[in-house]
């Protein structure tokens, strides 16, 4: 059963996914990005919608290490870290596989999210490694990764 979302919820979901895709993969064209957005559940997304999302996110074209032009988030457009921001606003996604949990955060907030987890000293967590926008969490027992994922979601107030 498919749940219908309001247009603002749908746009926010598209923005969040678009940002995450651009951070983690190199895109040379809007069409490449559109295909990945389709693969992630937005089957009917148009090129004009992708163009609007890129504009809203402040995405620019820049050269990568190989000299190819790719889409990237404009560093000048990224929000400055704000201590008053809620954890829910800092976190883009929390995902896991069979071995670890990965938190994608808004640029500049990865270390803050990791600090929250370190402060809580959850016994199920073996270790936490953080970068500017990514937090990698190793569960103490990999068999319990899904349970640790749920515990992290509860600890951060994400449901």
Give tens-digit pLDDT for 15-46.
Answer: 888 988 887 788 999 999 999 999 999 999 99
The Cα-based distances of 43 to 36, 39, 99, 107 in angstroms read 10, 7, 30, 28
Residue 48 and residue 94 in one domain: no
Q: What pLDDT, on a 0 to 100 scale, did the predictor assign at position 4?
A: 44
Read off the pTM.
0.52
Q: What is the residue range of 15's domain?
A: 7-76
Residue 142 counted as domain residue: yes
How high does pLDDT run on average in the chain?
84
Q: What pLDDT, on a 0 to 100 scale, did the predictor assign at position 81?
A: 52
Strands ordered across the beta sheet of 134-139: 91-96, 101-105, 134-139, 125-130
Separation CA 95–CA 42 (nearest Å): 19
Q: What is the pLDDT of residues 36-93, one digit of tens each?
A: 999 999 999 999 999 999 988 888 888 876 778 888 877 666 555 555 557 777 788 8
Residue 62 and residue 107 in one domain: no
Write the CATH number for 12: 1.10.10.10
Residue 116 and residue 72 in one domain: no
Residue 71 counted as domain residue: yes
Residue 101 counted as domain residue: yes
Residue 14 and residue 55 in one domain: yes
- The total number of structural domains that make up the chain: 2
């Amino acid at each position: 059963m498919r749940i219908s979302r309001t247009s603002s919820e749908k746009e926010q979901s598209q923005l969040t996914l678009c940002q995450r895709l651009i951070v983690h993969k190199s895109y040379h064209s809007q069409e490449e990005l559109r295909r990945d957005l389709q693969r992630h559940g937005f089957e009917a997304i148009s090129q004009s919608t992708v163009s609007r999302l890129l504009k809203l996110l402040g995405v620019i074209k820049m050269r990568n290490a190989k000299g190819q032009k790719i889409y990237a988030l404009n560093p000048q457009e990224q929000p400055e870290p704000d201590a008053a921001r809620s954890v829910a606003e800092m976190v883009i996604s929390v995902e896991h596989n069979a071995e670890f949990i990965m938190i994608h955060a808004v640029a500049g907030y990865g270390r803050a999210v990791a600090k929250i987890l370190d402060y809580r000293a959850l016994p199920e967590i073996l270790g936490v490694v953080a970068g500017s926008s990514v937090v990698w969490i190793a569960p103490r027992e990999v068999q319990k990764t899904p349970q640790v994922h749920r515990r992290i979601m509860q600890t951060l107030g994400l449901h």
